[in-house]
Structure 1
């Protein structure tokens, strides 16, 4: 039976890498039907669901993966990204903090900050119309988390200055503009 699980998982992974996430999910579901605690299948299915914009479903997969292996950092980070997508910055911050505790490598922290920052940018650039105040507030929380993860992240500081500009708080805008200029290396 394990060869069949291995083959189904590999087929799902291959389909996911080619962007056919719906088909990939069906293979991950086959694996999970036999072994509901198959950690790689839970993570892979969650990732495919997230790629399809199904953050709530992806979150359930990542939460299940956390139950299976609470010492793994990645499902905590991935669940945090889903929480950001769902407009739950407090829950996202808690999950991200746990992920960073589990994987203290500075590169992991920095990569996580970049992913969070990209979520903030996506909030402001997707959709048929200009972002409203609610989306700017959500982006603010997202960029704040990115800056918390990587305090020297110039782009996150600049993004916060822009968000505060749109939210009408010039004092906060000026604070983050000043921070961004201090973080920028001399001569740049």
Structure 2
């Protein structure tokens, strides 16, 4: 399975890097492919290294203005013309999406993926990996949107909230039908 992971390129505390390494190891050992932003810095590097070390494949999609941080060794690397094309390529190359901790770029990617799913533009499973409660506030907001009728489909059909890596990958494998 090709799993797109949206996440930060920042150097982060161990409470975020440890669970990211765990997810990466599970992904690689499961024979899955990481589809990610192509960066070789911060949390993106942690996950790419972990997948590679565990035997998984790497498919990167970067963008020209981030060229200085592009990972040199990947099974495939595409350079998009802009961020919009990058997001479209990341989604097109994946069977499922995982949203890990990140800043405004990650939040932008997450909301666009969910908006596209809401409108039936894709039906790929989406997991929000809520490492160390990072997305508790966002989860609360989504629950409120669902409860008050702002979502045209149930929240459970839009996104799955996982508290740990093993639960995230199990949900994806079940959703996609991987054994």
User: Aligning the two structures, in what range does the TM-score lie when normalised by the shorter sequence?
Assistant: 0.3 to 0.5
Give the alignment's TM-score, normalised by structure 1.
0.31
- Which one has a larger percent helix, Structure 1 or Structure 2? 1
- Which one has a larger percent strand, Structure 1 or Structure 2? 2
> Greater RCO between the two (CA within 8 Å, min separation 6)?
2
Larger radius of gyration between Structure 1 and Structure 2: 1
